[in-house]
Amino acid sequence: MHEYAVTKGLIAIAVEEARKAGASKITLIRLVIGDLSTVIDESVQMYFDMLSEGTVAHGSKLEFRRVSARFHCKDCGIEFEKPKIGFDCPKCGKMGMLTDSGKEFYIESMEIE
């Protein structure tokens, strides 16, 4: 359900940026979402369709780009994507430490008219 609040904030930011640019319509919003953010694309889309009514964002296409969670191994120093199971380094087998990659949620760009 946190997608409701996240989407409401997303629309507010997009509408404000469009206003600053003098746009009358937003046609496309590109979003970056980390796999660990727990944000579900379909829920964002559903809330966006409802909450954007009456704004310059209504009818905009949302484009989602997913970012994988990445880990760093303190023992051998490599960085790797999270394996399907567990958090172990594929090189040495030790447990990896989470990096900042995979927690993202932001507007990457917008197309306006």
Number of domains in the chain: 1
Residue 64: give the domain boundaries: 2-112
Amino acid at 85: I
What is the predicted pLDDT for the residue at 63? 98
CATH number, domain of 87, equals 3.30.2320.80
Which residues participate in the annotated binding site for Zn(2+)? 73, 76, 89, 92
The helix (H) or strand (E) run that includes residue 49 is helix 41-51
- Stated pTM of the model: 0.85
What is the predicted pLDDT for the residue at 39? 94
Q: Please list the pLDDT of the chain residue by residue as tens digits (113 residues).
A: 689 999 999 999 999 999 999 999 999 999 999 998 989 999 999 999 999 999 999 999 999 999 999 999 999 999 999 888 899 999 999 999 999 999 999 999 999 99
What is the predicted pLDDT for the residue at 83? 87
Which residues participate in the annotated binding site? 2, 73, 76, 89, 92
Which residues participate in the annotated binding site for Ni(2+)? 2
What is the predicted pLDDT for the residue at 2? 86
Q: Are 26 and 109 in contact (CB under 8 A)?
A: no
